[in-house]
Amino acid sequence: MKRDIDKDTVGGQAAPAQQDKTTPMTMIQALRSAMDVMLGRSDDVVIYGQDVGYFGGVFRVTDGLQAKYGKQRVFDAPISEGGIVGTAVGMAAYGLRPVVEIQFADYFYPATDQIVSEAARLRYRSAGDFTAPLTIRMPCGGGIYGGQTHSQSPEAFFTHVCGLRTVMPSNPYDAKGLLIAAIENDDPVIFLEPKRLYNGPFDGHHDRPVVSWAKHPRGDVPEGYYTVPLDKAAVFREGADLTVLTYGTMVWVSEAAANETGIDAEIIDLRTLWPLDLETVVASVQKTGRCVVVHEATRTSGFGAELAALVQEHCFYHLEAPIERVTGWDTPYPHAQEWAYFPGPDRVGAAFKRAMEA
């Protein structure tokens, strides 16, 4: 019999209200806190993947959870992404809520059949009799000298698949609230985590000192339970000159470009790529009349192409200039030329200027 998390009660007792007390957290700590909260709220939540148990994950996101909840709730899996996701689909159909980690997003390809043909289709093919409430965590993106096999941003693969939700947070507060919402959701959620943001915001200036989340207001995270909606974008920065549609690390790069060019850009942090908060997107573009789309993934068939098409479809008569795209190049992520590939504030700022001068 399928069991759901009761959002109002835990173990028959009233669930705690959303917490007001906050503490500074890195994104790593915020994600760990989200899993800690959900493991404590429901025995149906299990966490596993390569090295996530005793070792605590390659980025230490699950550090200490096995010691707290035991080896039956938090455990290691073999190096088999297809096996990890395949077993998670079965667990989810039975009524559990597995949270599995693909060690790097670059490694999801062996699990493609299980993600696309099984997890994403289960609700449809069973006429709603079964769902697949599983969350697949994947560290993604570059900026850490990971080279071609540890730096990819594959979000567009998942937004193309009906039945999946695709999420990418840009800060610790959103990361925790979105992960809790993902675990509670009855659909499979691809949860992409920008590695370069794990320990602090990154504006694209790799030659400057690292900034800690402890010194940033978006690093203040409630200690207990709360959620961030999976279908709602955030106006990260209000502005009047142009709209920036972006997510993940590029939120911070876009903010740096706005500050350095003096262009009053309104930055929309999509947070959830699909389902997309089209209402917020359209309202912003209709207000500013200009749009720049920014993402780290390769350009051709990237998610930015879908965003540009939607803006053209819904905002055509409000546009004062062609839509600009700033992306990674259509090449493997080059280790030796990391910062030529990475869309930095100079490239983003140049797009801002083109949009304003058109």
Angle at 208 between CA 206 and CA 210, to 5 degrees: 85
CA distance between the termini of the chain: 60
Q: Is 150 a catalytic residue?
A: yes
* Residue 14 CB coordination number (10 Å): 8
Contact 61, 104 (CB under 8 A): no
The active-site residue, picked from 150, 206, 216, 335, is 150
Tell me whether strands 291-298 and 234-237 are parallel, antiparallel or unpaired: unpaired
Tell me whether strands 45-49 and 74-76 are parallel, antiparallel or unpaired: parallel
User: So which residues are the catalytic ones?
Assistant: 150
